[in-house]
Structures are given as structure tokens and as C-alpha cells.
Amino acid sequence: MLIDLFLPCAAGAEALLAEECKRVLGPKTRLLTARGGVTVEGDERAAMALNLESRLAQRVLWPLAHGAYRHEHDLYDIARGVRWSDWITAQQTLRVETTAQRSPLRSLNFATLRIKDAVCDAIRESSGERPSVDTRAPDLPLALHLTPTHATVYVDTSGEPLFKRGWRDARAAGRDVTGEAPLKETLAAAMLAAAGWQGRAGDGPLLDPCCGAGTIAIEAAQIACGIAPGLERRFGFERLAPWRDHASAWRTLREAAQARIHAPTVAIFAGDVSFRMTDFATRNAERAGVLSPAMKAIEFKTADALQRLPPAERGVLVLNPPYGERIGAKGRGAAPREDFEGGGTPASFFAELASHWKRHYAGWTAWVLSPEMRLPSLMRLKESQRVPMWNGPIECRLFRFDMVAGSARG
Ligand SMILES: C[S@@+](CC[C@H](N)C(=O)[O-])C[C@H]1O[C@@H](n2cnc3c(N)ncnc32)[C@H](O)[C@@H]1O
């Protein structure tokens, strides 16, 4: 059955996601780019393929009901229009997650409850019992999206959001070793896509000198090795009744993805000034399957970005440098707090980084993600591109600097 799947993504990454969907499903795929996501025409197989292969989508949502609303009870009526017995039994569990854009409703919690009530009432009427709620690992994950006038109820075929690739150490989360503000995998992938870096030999070596948990280098390495982002994880659709008939298509998709894995043809380098972070990133990369003897896709080194020499004559730097109250720049250029500009990283760090690049990195292209809109003037470099991207709620720019010998302004 063809349906309009909705794939939300980070604001700024919509056009890149549209291109990715065509790469995964074929160039004739019908799709529509909206703010915050892409609508893609597809079926159960397309939903599986996108879950397995998309690096940029946050989820793959399957629409079940849509309608105009003004009050919470309208949401109940919209949800009651679905034949829920096709999706859930009384013995199973559900979760409803609500997102809203300028919704007039006072309580989104109440909106969430009305959808849950609609499902539970429908199942109780048909079977005498009601399913229960499980917010952590439900059988049926539902997503409610509210615009100012319309509501859509989706099945979240991903379950856990897609930025969870399965390689991050869940136990690390509580122990302050997640990295200082690690990037989401989906945003790291969007940076690489915007840079046009696809892991081919012609794309040139890649270096992230401020790698933190290693997210950018690991995404890059998986791309270079042809490792599908979803190979190491499970998805919501695997527990859903309408996908039971598609188990063999799912096996075929996974086998094809597995067969595509190959040793990289391009070098990837990464490191951090902190040994603890370089070590942590190395362990993440091991779990992501890119450091096996057959792959050896990333070379890590603990080093100060302000002193590190280029590992190749030409290449691409991709990084989100330290910024903000929580993250201090360390190493040679780090300055006392009075020198901080704009509330975080010292301006001198960027000035020193730029002069280091001008001196040693001629021939390289740098892609730097930062919420600091004055980055080019702090670096005394003229950007050749400035791509709007959102890091969660934080508005950023991905700046491109071409390090041409003698081109520096200062
Ligand atoms: C915003 S975090 C990068 C996050 C990373 N992209 C990730 O996904 O985890 C910035 C990193 O820069 C590192 N750093 C700060 N000063 C540095 C320097 N002088 N040289 C190299 N790394 C530095 C910090 O230790 C921190 O891990």
C-alpha cells in the first residue's frame, strides 16, 4: 500500500534528506520537502529501507489519521477513526509522543492522553480489555503532531529515534563520559552531506581535530565502509502486526546492506586535546564496527588542534569546535575567562586555530559548525558558504572556509 510517509529531520537538513530518500528508494520517488522534514510516497518496504539506510531522518512515521481540531475531544474523535485492532491487542503496550507547532491547546499532556484513551477504548470495546502504556519500549509507538489547525496521528515505525545507531555506550550517559555536548549522529551526517563528502577516494581525507565522542569521524567512517546506519539496531516496525508479512523482505534488505560493507578507500583522522575523549571516541568507533582489522577506518591521535599538523597534503576538516559555557577550549590557545567572547569559547582560540590553518593547511577545506555567527570575523577568514543548521534548539551555521595559500585576510 502506498502512503505518504513523513520523515522529520533537523531544520536545515530537509533538502539533503530529500536527496538521501531518492538515493535509498530510487530517483523517481515522489516526495515533498516541508519545514522540519520530508514527505515520501512509499510502502512497508520503503519504510523498512528508510529506517535501515537514512542517516538524516530522525524517524520514519506512518500516518494513520489526520483531521482539523480545535479541542482535545476533536483529537479523540480523529483517533477513533482508526481500526486499532489491526495495530495492537489488549495484551500489548503503547506510547504516544506529541509534538506541536503553535497549537492552540493549553495542555499537550492532555492531548496525548486523549489519543491514548481513543486507542484503549477502541480495544476495550472489541475485546473487553485495554492495552497498557509503556513509555520505554512499547509495542506500538505512536506520534501525534499538531499544527495550529490540524492533527496527524502516526505510527512511529522507528521506535527509538534514528540518531541512536546502536554504538553509543548507554551506560556512559550517567557517568559524564558521553563527550562534552556530543553531536547527534543525524546532525553529524547532515554536516558531511552538506560538505558533499561521501566517503569516495576523490572526496579526500577527512580530519576532525576536536572529535569529542567521535560522532563526525564515526559517521564518516561508516559512510566510507558502506555500513548502513541501522544495521546494529532494532526498529519499531519489527514488532508491528502489519509488518509480519514483510519479514523476508526485511531479511533481504539487511543481507544486501551487509554485502555492501567494504574496506574504506579514503583516510579518516580524528583526535581531541583530551586523552580521555580520544580514548572514549576510539571505543565508540570500535562498537560502530569501523576499527575492525578489515576496516581500520579511523586513525585517532590525542593532539591540540592548535598545533596538529595536517595528516595529508589536501583534505577536508569537519568539526564543531568547543563553544558555550559548558565547553572550554583547552590547549595552547585557551585563555583565561576574561578573554571569552559571546559567553564561552575564547575568541583567541578561533584566531589561533585560523592562523594555524592558514600556515599549515593550505589546500584543505574546513567545514565548521558553530552557533557563533561572527566566526568568520573571529577567524579573520572569509567563508565561501554559510549553511543554516539547527543543533536541537540552537541555531547554528555550517561555515565553509577554503584554505588557499596566501588567501588569508589577516
Ligand atoms: C563541541 S565538542 C565536539 C563534540 C563532538 N563533535 C562530538 O560529537 O562528541 C568540542 C571538543 O573539542 C575539544 N577541544 C577543546 N580544545 C581543543 C583543542 N585545543 N584541541 C583539540 N580539541 C579540543 C574538547 O575536548 C571537546 O571534546
Lowest-pLDDT choice from 89-98, 103-112, 174-183, 273-282: 174-183
Q: Are 157 and 60 in contact (CB under 8 A)?
A: yes
Burial class of residue 145 (count of CB atoms within 10 Å of its CB; 0-12, 13-18, 19+) = buried
- Mutate which of 180, 268, 302 for ligand 1? The one with the most ligand atoms within 8 Å of its CB, which is 180
> Measured from the CB, is residue 253 less than 6 Å from ligand 1?
no
> Measured from the CB, is residue 191 less than 6 Å from ligand 1?
no
146 alpha carbon – ligand 1 mean position (Å): 37
Tell me, what's the pLDDT at 323? 79
Tell me, what's the pLDDT at 342? 47
Tell me, what's the pLDDT at 17? 98
Nearest Cα residue to atom 12 of ligand 1: 210
213 alpha carbon – ligand 1 mean position (Å): 9
- For the stretch 94-114, pLDDT in tens is 999 999 999 999 999 999 999
> Measured from the CB, is residue 212 less than 6 Å from ligand 1?
yes
Burial class of residue 133 (count of CB atoms within 10 Å of its CB; 0-12, 13-18, 19+) = middle
Cα–Cα distance for residue pair 250/323, rounded to 1 Å: 42
Cα–Cα distance for residue pair 340/378, rounded to 1 Å: 12
- For the stretch 10-46, pLDDT in tens is 989 999 999 999 999 999 999 999 989 999 999 999 9
Confidence tier at 231 by pLDDT (50, 70, 90): very high
- Mutate which of 176, 210, 279 for ligand 1? The one with the most ligand atoms within 8 Å of its CB, which is 210
> Measured from the CB, is residue 204 less than 6 Å from ligand 1?
no
Confidence tier at 404 by pLDDT (50, 70, 90): confident
Confidence tier at 173 by pLDDT (50, 70, 90): very low
26 alpha carbon – ligand 1 mean position (Å): 37
Tell me, what's the pLDDT at 331? 66
Q: Are 177 and 276 in contact (CB under 8 A)?
A: yes
> Measured from the CB, is residue 306 less than 6 Å from ligand 1?
yes
Tell me, what's the pLDDT at 174? 43
114 alpha carbon – ligand 1 mean position (Å): 44
> Measured from the CB, is residue 187 less than 6 Å from ligand 1?
no
Cα–Cα distance for residue pair 119/81, rounded to 1 Å: 10
Tell me, what's the pLDDT at 347? 78
**pLDDT, the chain, mean:** 92
Rounded to 5 degrees, φ, ψ at 371 are: -80, -5
54-74: average pLDDT:
97
214-235: average pLDDT:
97
Tell me, what's the pLDDT at 182? 87
Tell me, what's the pLDDT at 374? 93
351-373: average pLDDT:
96
185 alpha carbon – ligand 1 mean position (Å): 16
Amino acid at site 313: E
Tell me, what's the pLDDT at 172? 60
Tell me, what's the pLDDT at 338? 41
Q: Are 112 and 100 in contact (CB under 8 A)?
A: no
Cα–Cα distance for residue pair 168/142, rounded to 1 Å: 25
Tell me, what's the pLDDT at 178? 53
277-299: average pLDDT:
97
Q: Which residues contact 299 (CB under 8 A, 6 or more apart)?
A: 267, 268, 269, 270, 311
Return the number of other C-beta atoms located less than 10 Å from residue 160's C-beta: 17
- Mutate which of 207, 272, 283, 345 for ligand 1? The one with the most ligand atoms within 8 Å of its CB, which is 272
- For the stretch 292-351, pLDDT in tens is 999 999 999 999 999 999 999 999 999 999 976 444 566 665 554 444 444 456 778 999
> Measured from the CB, is residue 179 less than 6 Å from ligand 1?
yes
| Long-range contacts of the stretch 122-126 (C-beta < 8 A, 24+) | 122/80, 122/82, 122/84, 122/85, 123/84, 123/85, 123/88, 123/89, 123/90, 124/90, 126/85
74-97: average pLDDT:
98
124-135: average pLDDT:
97
321 alpha carbon – ligand 1 mean position (Å): 6
Cα–Cα distance for residue pair 275/269, rounded to 1 Å: 15
Cα–Cα distance for residue pair 99/198, rounded to 1 Å: 32
Q: Evaluate if residue 181 carries a pLDDT over 80.
A: no
